[in-house]
Amino acid sequence: MGASFTALDWSIVIAILVGTTVLGERLAGRQESVRDFFLGGRSLPWFAVAASIVATEISAVTYISLPSVVYREGGNLHYLQIVLIGSLLARLFVGYVLVPAYYEREIYSPYDYVAQRLGERARGMTTALFTLGGILGQSARVYLTALVLEVLLAEELAILGGWTGCAPLTCAVALIGVVAVLWTWIGGIAAVIWTDVVLFCLFLVGIAVSLWTVHHALAGVGGGLSEALAEGWRAGKFDVINTSTDLSQPYTLWVALFVASWGQIGPYGCDQLMAQRLFCCRGPREARKAIVASIAAVGIIAAVALVGVALWAYYQQFPLSATSAALVAERPDRIFPIFVMEVVGPGFKGLVIVGALAAAISSLDSILAALSQTTLATVYLPRRRRELARRGVVEGDEDPVEVQRTLRVSRALVLGWGVVLCGAAVAVDRVADRYDSLLDLALAMAGYTGGALLGAFFLAFLPMRARGRGLLWSAPLSVLAVFALAWHEPWALDVIHGGSGLLGLAWVARMVKGDFDLRGTLALLLGLVAVECLCRYGALPGGGSLPWPWYIPLGSVVTFAWAVLMDPGEESAN
């Protein structure tokens, strides 16, 4: 491979990271309460929240993996259908339907809303689903960025690995984790949002530098970037609409219209990773502006896809070396990092890698804040309130000592979840080869629990009797169903058998206590048999699997339908 990082590149990276840290701390202000730490005092401007949503949404998966999807043989812009249609419709639904409902209450997360509608045990279930989905989805994003650093900083990570005894990939994951924990620690969600605004600008710079580099390199052989894009057009790289009715294809017009638009309501409106930002606005109108303005992500994702077209055109003129070609053949997602190392000049290389780091850290610090808040609300605060009640302390008393104690616990949770996410990112390496691209991997991971979350919100939001007790059974059944939809290997059957067995034993234990329910028993048996068949035979003719965009919609249907079947709706899950 070509040149490594220079002193100039390192200077740029360090200066930007330090400057962003200081700026985020100053703009975040002093955190005097949990409300400040997790809601930013509900005083953040809508444009900052919108930029933070975009920065969190794009992540390193889009920044690094999407160019490789377009670059590879047969690659095109079909993925943009999901963004142009599915996410647009979902944002409008969240902004005009869910946001007003959330702002009717003083709540910190969507799971507080679920608790008020379906009961405390329903809050525990949705929090657990979010936690599992957040770990799966964001660990895949951290893993991808670590792979990028493994290419870009091969020599430096090898030295660090020699000092610590850790693999280069582990060192790269730790580097990302340390910065993300620091930014979340210093100022809570306000610091996260303001640093996201800076990071948003940084990966725009990274995209611009990449496109300019291709233009400059190709100008010498005629045409520059405009000719490169014209070549891409002639080669079909700009094909956006795919009208195929093949259900095994993830990126079609029909999937975007009817599947992705439904499924994306979950990530934008029911997942604390994104929803926490909406709670930080000054009111429902500001929150609506933020989620609608975040449609700007479409243009940025399209620009990232153009980088893939530009890379394809560049390597048509200047083929990869044998070493680099072997690395790309082993993992196609390496094409953009290799381009940065071999082609981008000193100084500019630092700007591009900062863009990659920005995309990764903006997602990781966001999930750290979200996981910490939900853990605090679900685990720590209820126990602490009971303990204080035993001492005769009246709830609502503003004890400065207690406020500071809760803030310390919040920061400790940030650190703890940082360690967990970094460990999960290292473990992702074992399943990465299962997916055609790391873009599909990251998007699929969150889908395992996203359907159950969305189904829970339908139960809470719709004007019907509470089905909180049914949710406690239908949500884990939904997770098993999505897992069975995706995996059909012998080991997956063992997982299904284990999960089904645990769910069945829990139901039997309930009946032994005298709560016999024939309808619920038959519904659970039907669900477990269906899950077994999905895993054993597949969802498509010939045993094929449905792609990841189907995970959340189908999971939400299972959650909603089985919650209704297994709960008469006469009482909530308090």
Question: Cβ distance 300 to 204 under 8 Å?
Answer: yes
Indicate the residue type of 327: L
pLDDT for residue 253 is more than 80: yes
Q: Other CB atoms closer than 10 Å to residue 498's CB: what's the count?
A: 11
The amino acid at 121? R
What is the arithmetic mean of pLDDT over 87-111? Answer: 88
C-alpha 418/C-alpha 134 separation (Å) is: 12
Average pLDDT over residues 341-356: 83
- pLDDT, residue 28, reads 62
DSSP tag of 471: H
Q: Regarding predicted confidence, which is higher, 164 or 401?
A: 164
Handedness of CA 469, 470, 476, 479 (dihedral sign): negative
Instruction: Tell me which of 187 and 129 has the higher pLDDT.
Output: 129
Q: Is residue 160 pLDDT above 80, yes or no?
A: yes
Crossing angle of the two packed helices 7-28 and 168-219, in degrees rounded to 10: 110
pLDDT of residue 236: 92
Cβ atoms of residues 504 and 524 within 8 Å? yes
- Do 488 and 538 meet the contact criterion of CB atoms below 8 Å apart? yes
Residue 4: pLDDT band by 50, 70, 90 thresholds?
Answer: low
pLDDT of residue 573: 44
- Give phi and psi for 77, each to the nearest 5: -105, 25
The predicted pLDDT at position 416 comes to 92
pLDDT band with cut points at 50, 70 and 90 for residue 569: low
Distance (Å, rounded) from C-alpha 566 to C-alpha 400?
45
> At 227, which amino acid appears?
E
Q: What was the pLDDT predicted at 187?
A: 63
Closest CA to 315 of 73, 145, 153, 150: 73
Question: What confidence tier does 38 reach under pLDDT thresholds 50, 70, 90?
Answer: low
User: Does residue 179 or residue 496 have the better pLDDT?
Assistant: 496
**End-to-end C-alpha distance for the chain, whole angstroms:** 60
Percent of the chain with pLDDT over 70: 90
Sign of CA dihedral 194, 188, 457, 563: positive
Distance from C-alpha of 221 to C-alpha of 224, rounded to nearest angstrom: 8
Q: How confident is the model at residue 222 (pLDDT cuts 50, 70, 90)?
A: low
When the pLDDT of each residue in the chain is averaged and rounded to a whole number, the result is 84
Long-range contacts of 521-529 (CB under 8 A, 24+ apart): 523/562, 523/565, 523/566, 524/473, 524/477, 524/562, 524/566, 527/474, 527/477, 527/481, 527/558, 527/562, 528/477, 528/480, 528/500, 528/503, 528/504
**Rounded Cα–Cα distance for residues 213 and 18 (Å):** 26
Compute the distance between CA of residue 16 and CA of residue 420 in angstroms, rounded to an integer.
27
* Contact (CB, 8 A) for 555 and 490: no
255 or 573: whose pLDDT is higher?
A: 255
Instruction: Give the whole-angstrom CA distance, residue 332 versus residue 341.
Output: 15
Find the mean pLDDT for residues 118-134.
88
Q: Given pLDDT bands bounded at 50, 70 and 90, which one contains residue 571?
A: very low
- Looking at residue 572, its pLDDT comes to 43
Q: Spell out a b/e string for 553-569, using b for 16 or more CB atoms within 10 Å of the CB, else e.
A: bbbbbbbbbbbbbbbee
Higher-confidence residue: 168 or 539?
Answer: 168
Domains of the chain (ranges; CATH) run 7-35+45-163+173-429 (1.20.1730.10), 460-573 (no CATH)
Would the pLDDT of 501 be above 90?
yes
Distance of alpha carbon 500 from the chain centroid: 27
CA distance 502 to 436: 32
**∠ at Cα 264 (149, 463), nearest 5°?**
145
What's the one-letter identity of residue 150?
E
pLDDT in the model for residue 437:
67
Please answer whether residues 274 and 55 qualify as being in contact, where contact means their C-beta atoms are separated by less than 8 angstroms. Answer: no
Q: What pLDDT does 574 receive?
A: 47
Structure tokens at 238: 């700009």
- The answer for residues whose C-beta is within 8 angstroms of residue 79's C-beta and 6 or more apart is 66, 69, 251, 305, 439
| Tally of CB atoms within 10 A around 369 | 31
Only one residue has tokens 């591009």, namely 352
pLDDT at position 1, please? Answer: 52
pLDDT for 570 beyond 60: no
Half-sphere exposure of 164 (CA within 13 A, CB side): 15
Residue 116 has pLDDT above 60, yes or no: yes
The predicted pLDDT at position 29 comes to 62
As a whole number of angstroms, the distance between CA 392 and CA 386 comes to 10
| Residue 479 pLDDT greater than 90, yes or no | yes
Other C-beta atoms lying within 10 Å of the C-beta of residue 426: 19
- Please enumerate in sequence order all residues whose Cβ is within 8 A of that of 395, keeping only pairs 6 or more positions apart, or say none: 385, 388, 389
Q: What distance in Å separates the CA atoms of residue 457 and residue 269, rounded to the nearest whole number?
A: 9
Residue 2 has pLDDT above 60, yes or no: no
Give the start-end residues of each E strand in 410-556: none
Q: How far apart are CA 115 and CA 7, in angstroms?
A: 53
- What pLDDT, on a 0 to 100 scale, did the predictor assign at position 35? 65
Instruction: Over range 272-297, report the average pLDDT.
Output: 88
Q: Band the pLDDT of 434: cuts 50, 70, 90.
A: low
Closest among 473, 41, 67, 102 to 268, alpha carbons compared: 102
